[in-house]
Structure 1
Amino acid sequence: MAMQELLKADDITKALDAFKAADTFDHKKFFELVGLKAMSAENVKKVFKVLDVDASGFIEEEELKFVLKGFSKDGRDLTDKETKAFLTAADKDGDGKIGVDEFAAIVHE
Structure 2
Amino acid sequence: MSITDLLSVEDIKKAVAAFAAAESFNHKKFFEMVGLKKKNKQDVEKVFHILDKDKSGFIEEDELKFILKGFTPDGRDLSDKETKALLAAGDKDGDGKIGAEEFSALVAES
Please name the residue that 1:14 is paired with. Answer: 14
Displacement of 1:2 in angstroms is: 1.1
CA deviation string 1:56-85 (max 9, x = no partner): 000000000000000000000000000000
What CA distance in whole angstroms lies between the structure 1 residues aligned with 2:10 and 2:97?
29
Matched, 1:84 2:84: yes
Gapped runs of 5+ residues in structure 2? none
User: What is the TM-score when the length of structure 1 is the normalising length?
Assistant: 0.99
What CA distance in whole angstroms lies between the structure 1 residues aligned with 2:5 and 2:74?
17
Q: In structure 2, the residue corresponding to 1:98 is in which secondary structure?
A: strand
Please name the residue that 1:52 is paired with. Answer: 52
What CA distance in whole angstroms lies between the structure 2 residues aligned with 1:108 and 1:92?
14
Please name the residue that 1:2 is paired with. Answer: 2
| Cα RMSD for the two superposed structures | 0.3
Q: Aligned partner of 2:70: which letter? A: G
Q: In structure 1, the residue corresponding to 2:59 is in which secondary structure?
A: strand
Please name the residue that 1:33 is paired with. Answer: 33
What CA distance in whole angstroms lies between the structure 2 residues aligned with 1:2 and 1:19?
22
What CA distance in whole angstroms lies between the structure 2 residues aligned with 1:52 and 1:15?
20
Q: In structure 2, the residue corresponding to 1:10 is in which secondary structure?
A: helix
Using the aligned pairs only, state the percent identity: 64
User: What is the TM-score when the length of structure 2 is the normalising length?
Assistant: 0.98
What CA distance in whole angstroms lies between the structure 2 residues aligned with 1:84 and 1:61?
7
Please name the residue that 2:67 is paired with. Answer: 67
